[in-house]
């Protein structure tokens, strides 16, 4: 599986070197990338901004439960979502946006990158770039989603929301 960002996507991703670092690491994993191949110690410098969610099922619906949430994410949102489902951790349109992004990663078996604003526990808006990548298990099924929330302040350019395939 070779995925390359080109044009606007490459330009936008370059504004966020931490997301680029995770993307490059994910691409370096033996195909297909799986959780067993991930070494978070290699990502130590960006680990505070990484999250990992287990993909499960409840009846016919997919569920996403946070296995790991980095300390920078916890600080930005004011709570630790480790052990919580997306529905328990977030509400309203923010929960829907996150869930939709995760559903995209699972259904397309492809990374997703976008820039969005989200309210934290104090209802203050946090702007971030978010990269989510699939981690595969038996039979090519996406078993986990790993992502990075980059809270870098953008100065000159404001990236467009984009999906990469």
Q: Which CATH architecture has domain 7-150?
A: 2-Layer Sandwich (3.30)
Consecutive H or E run containing 73 = helix 71-77
Collapsed DSSP state (helix, strand, coil) of residue 146: strand
Residue 46: band (very low, low, confident or very high) from pLDDT cuts 50, 70, 90: very high
**76 vs 100, residue with greater confidence:** 100
Q: Which residues contact 71 (CB under 8 A, 6 or more apart)?
A: 48
Residue 15: band (very low, low, confident or very high) from pLDDT cuts 50, 70, 90: confident
Distance CA 42, CA 126 (A): 27
The pLDDT tens digits of the residues spanning 78-89 come to 899 999 999 999
Q: What is the pTM of this model?
A: 0.82
Would you state the pLDDT for residue 162? 38
Are the beta carbons of 17 and 31 closer than 8 angstroms?
Answer: no
The pLDDT tens digits of the residues spanning 87-140 come to 999 888 889 989 999 999 999 999 998 877 666 566 566 678 899 999 999 889
Q: Which residues contact 47 (CB under 8 A, 6 or more apart)?
A: 40, 70
């Amino acid at each position: 599986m070779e995925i390359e960002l080109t044009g606007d996507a490459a330009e936008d991703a370059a504004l966020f070197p931490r997301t680029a670092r995770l993307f490059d690491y994910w691409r370096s994993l033996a195909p297909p990338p799986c959780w067993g191949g991930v070494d978070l110690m290699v990502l130590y410098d960006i680990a505070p901004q990484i999250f990992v969610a287990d993909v499960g099922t409840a009846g016919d619906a997919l569920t996403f439960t946070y296995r790991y949430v980095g300390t920078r994410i916890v600080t930005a949102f004011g709570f630790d979502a480790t052990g919580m489902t997306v529905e328990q951790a977030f509400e309203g349109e923010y929960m829907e946006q996150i869930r939709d992004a995760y559903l995209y990663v699972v259904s397309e078996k492809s990374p997703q990158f976008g820039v969005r604003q989200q309210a934290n526990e104090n209802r203050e808006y946090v702007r971030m770039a978010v990269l989510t990548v699939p981690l595969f298990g038996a039979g090519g099924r996406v078993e986990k989603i790993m992502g990075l929330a980059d809270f870098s302040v953008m100065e000159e350019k404001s990236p467009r929301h984009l999906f990469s395939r």
